[in-house]
Amino acid sequence: MSMQAIKETNFKFPGQTGFYKGKVRDVYYFGDRMAMVASDRISAFDVILPRAIPDKGRVLNQIAAFNLEATKHLVPNWVIATPDPNVTIGFKCEPFAVEMVVRGYLAGHAWREYKAGKRTVCGVPLPEGLKENDKLPTPIITPTTKAHVGHDEDISREEILKRGIVSESDYKTLEEYTFKLFNKGTELAAERGLILVDTKYEFGKHQGKIYLIDEVHTPDSSRYFYKEGYEARQKAGEPQKQLSKEFVRQWLIENGFQGKDGQQIPEMTDAIVNSISARYKELYEQVRGEALASVDYTGITQRIEQSILNSINSVNLESQKI
């Protein structure tokens, strides 16, 4: 028997000014504030899979909350409060149309490009003679455009400025913030016996100020390697031991699904759902260094609804005092 999971929420709040249902999050707007609910939906290859994964939402929301708290002295972020394991309240920001992907190692998409013979990724030159998962001489930024429909695309710094997607002064700030966050993320990962391989950051503006938005350093937005045995595996040409959502993609690929037209999503049995849920708990415990507390799923949507209501009311009271 599979455990309970939060597939979606459909709340109607007093003072609500909008609602957006993303791939995995339900977002409620209240003027220039928003409440983001991390559901247990899961996506891969830009497709939402048919079954939700118990505990996934709170795992990602709590890892993000921890990392946003740990980096807020370096880079301002959108969070006002985290009143519930599945909920974050924050400023509604106007997002920049680029994602800042930063890489410390040659893995994933960048490796596939390099293997195909390219020695420049997103306008950034790469040295000859690198192997998959090698550490790069210095971390590099390989931005992507944020696609409303379909897949994000690689883009260079020069192209972003030429097209006027981001102004030069704002882009300099985004670069500076990206490297600061990546350095701190690398430090936090090392404390947990991990290597932060690559990750992505999203930024937006609120009242003219740039904020870090969305989740940060989660296994869904980042790739981690285990530090122990990294060197030995590289020398032997063996695959690295990863901590990321890659295992879900691998299961789909092995079962003939990569999000292409005409492909069927494989059946998600209770055993598969529970095994993915167990992996997310393992990710939480590795990244946070503590066990994930168990929760009672009875009345969980009412709990989430009440926590948003209480939080929005207290945020409104605070803003009236100002």
- pLDDT score recorded for residue 45: 87
Say if CB 114 and CB 130 are below 8 A apart: yes
- pLDDT score recorded for residue 16: 95
For the chain, which residues score pLDDT lower than 50?
A: 1-2, 317, 320-322
Give the pLDDT confidence of 155-190 residue by residue, as tens digits: 999 999 999 999 999 999 999 999 999 999 999 999
- pLDDT score recorded for residue 2: 47
Query: Pick from 312, 313, 306, 256: which is nearest to 86 by CA?
Result: 306
Query: Which CA distances in Å does 88 have to 52, 93, 114, 273, 321?
Result: 20, 14, 38, 25, 22
What is the CA angle 297-299-304, rounded to 5? Answer: 90
- pLDDT score recorded for residue 140: 98
Say if CB 37 and CB 27 are below 8 A apart: yes
Say if CB 210 and CB 77 are below 8 A apart: no
Q: How many angstroms separate the CA atoms of 175 and 101, rounded? A: 10
- pLDDT score recorded for residue 199: 97
What structural domains and CATH numbers belong to the chain? Answer: 18-93+245-321 (3.30.200.20), 95-242 (3.30.470.20)
Three-state SS for 217-251 is CCCCCEEEEECCCHHHHHHHCCCCCEECCHHHHHH
pTM of the model: 0.91
